[in-house]
């Protein structure tokens, strides 16, 4: 599987500040935690403090796959 770096959706699931929480739908956001906000957010949320993740992460892909299976 190849990764497209040109077109990246700015969502929490591919931000460098996240860690898995309730995989694959929710993540723990270290930025929100540092700002004393609720750090548990949906993997598809986004914010203006988004930072590109340099390492491969499949959180968004896995969430989309599971979401597709739930609808069937």
CA 30, 36, 40, 41 dihedral sign is negative
Residue 58 scores a pLDDT above 80 = yes
**CB proximity list for 45: less than 8 A, separation 6 or greater:** 11, 12
Flag the least confident range among 17-26, 28-37, 50-59.
50-59
Output phi, psi for 17, to 5 deg: -95, 15
Residue 32 scores a pLDDT above 60 = yes
Higher-confidence position of 10 and 36: 36
By residue count, the chain amounts to: 72
Cite the beta strand spans of 1-72 per DSSP E.
18-22, 26-29, 40-42
CB 59 within 8 A of CB 18: yes
């Amino acid at each position: 599987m190849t990764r497209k770096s040109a077109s990246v959706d700015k969502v929490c699931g591919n931000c460098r500040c996240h860690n898995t929480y309730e995989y694959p739908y929710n993540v723990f956001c270290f930025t929100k935690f540092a700002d004393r906000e609720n750090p548990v957010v949906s993997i598809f949320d986004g914010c203006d403090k988004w930072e590109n993740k340099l390492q491969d992460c499949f959180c968004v892909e896995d969430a989309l796959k599971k979401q597709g299976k739930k609808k069937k």
